Amino acid sequence: MANHQVDDELIRKLAKLLGETGLSEIEYETKDWRVRVGRQMQAVAAAVAPAPVATPAAASGPASATPAVNHPGAVTSPVVGTAYIGPEPNAPPFVRVGDKVKQGQTLVIVEAMKVMNPIPAPRAGTIGQVMVANGQPVEFGEVLMVIE
């Protein structure tokens, strides 16, 4: 199992199936291995309008997060798991906002089913945003960092 390559195509198909069915998690198993794909279910806010002064403040949170999803430098999680921003518990993070990174440099580790998956920088650039905290659960496709 340690030498098994991640089947990106299978994971994408399972993730698409999650969206089509409305399920929050799906698991696929063969004789030799298994993969589980899940997504975070978010509650939809009620249609009660806040006071006009509060509306811009409430809109600023999601508005700042939304561009990260569509940003060309968004680095997303390839699996459901737990994000670790450093190589070990008390070590400094791999990268911080403002750090220059090279393509292939490890940015974060995502642990999935007791396997540590280093997430490399897909391109060179500067870290513009770190979207996860150490030990935070992450979903497939969730933005971990943004490279400017």
pLDDT on residue 2: 53
pLDDT on residue 87: 87
pLDDT band at 4 (very low <50, low <70, confident <90, very high): low
Per DSSP, the three-state class of 81 is: strand
SS3 string, 30-80, reads CCCCEEEEECCCCCCCCCCCCCCCHHHHHHHHHHHHHHHHHCCCEEECCCC
Q: Is the pLDDT of residue 19 over 50?
A: yes
Contacts of residue 81, Cβ cutoff 8 Å, sequence gap at least 6:
110, 111, 112, 113, 117, 137, 138
Domain ranges of the chain: 8-42+71-147
pLDDT band at 126 (very low <50, low <70, confident <90, very high): very high
Beta strands across the sheet bearing 137-138: 115-120, 106-112, 81-84, 137-138
Q: If you compute the radius of gyration of the chain from its CA atoms, what whole number of angstroms results?
A: 17
pLDDT on residue 88: 86
The pTM of the whole model exceeds 0.75 = no
Instruction: With beta carbons less than 8 A apart as the criterion, state whether 80 and 112 touch.
Output: yes
- Answer with the residue of higher pLDDT: 116 or 16: 116
Distance CA 133, CA 84 (A): 7
pLDDT on residue 137: 93
Mean pLDDT of 32-39: 75
- Inter-CA distances, 131 with 7, 9, 14, 35, 61, Å: 25, 25, 24, 25, 13
Structure tokens at 83: 């994000």
pLDDT on residue 3: 59
CATH for 8-42+71-147 is: 2.40.50.100
pLDDT on residue 25: 73
- Inter-CA distances, 66 with 6, 15, 32, 38, 142, Å: 28, 20, 39, 20, 11
Beta strands across the sheet bearing 100-101: 74-76, 143-147, 125-130, 100-101
Average pLDDT, the chain: 77
What's the pLDDT tens digit per position in 46-105?
Answer: 444 444 444 333 333 444 444 567 788 899 999 999 999 998 888 899 999 999 999 999
